Amino acid sequence: MMSKSEMSKSEINHCNCKKVLELLSAYIDSELSNDEKRMLDKHILQCQPCKVYLESLNYTVRLSVRLEKQESYQMPKDVRVKLRTFLKEKCQCDKDEER
């Protein structure tokens, strides 16, 4: 059974973990105040689960940018050609109407 002091330490840590979780995106994006960053750095040093959680969230963010270059989202050549034909036709109509 936990002693009173151990229980309160555990509660504080748990509370901090929740707080830390709320701040992780801002931490990754360097949007925290100096005080918040200090608090989070200190917690991460002492709390292995939060450290691993931060690493995994950071990894998710870094991986996400690669979706931009993913093959399935690349524009096919025919779409490019059709866009040019569409725009030439429509934009020319607009200019003719202006005249």
Partner 1 sequence: MNRNNKLTDTELVAKVQGSVGDAGDVGDYEAFEELVKRYERRIYGHSLRLLGNKEDAEDVLQETFLNVFRAIKNFRGDSSFSTWIYRIATNNALMKLRKSGRVEVEFDDEFPNIDPAKGGATVSYIEGPGDALIEKEVLAELDKAVKKLPEKYRTIFLLRDVEEFSTTETAEILDITESAVKSRLHRARLSLREGLSKFKEGAVGN
- Residues forming contacts to partner 1 in the complex (CB under 8 A) are 13-14, 17-18, 20-22, 24-26, 29, 31, 47, 49-50, 52-53, 55-57, 59-61, 63-68, 70, 72-75, 79-80, 82-84, 86-87, 90-91, 94-95
Q: Least distance (Å) from partner 1 to the CB of residue 44? A: 10
Between 4 and 95, CB nearer to partner 1: 95
For partner 1, the closer CB: 38 or 59: 59
Are 19 and 36 in contact by the 8 Å Cβ rule? The answer is: no
What are all long-range contacts of 45-54, with beta carbons under 8 Å and residues at least 24 apart?
47/13, 47/16, 47/17, 47/20, 49/17, 50/17, 50/20, 50/21, 53/21, 53/24, 54/24, 54/27, 54/28
Rounded to the nearest whole angstrom, what is the least distance from the CB of residue 8 to partner 1 in the complex?
A: 16
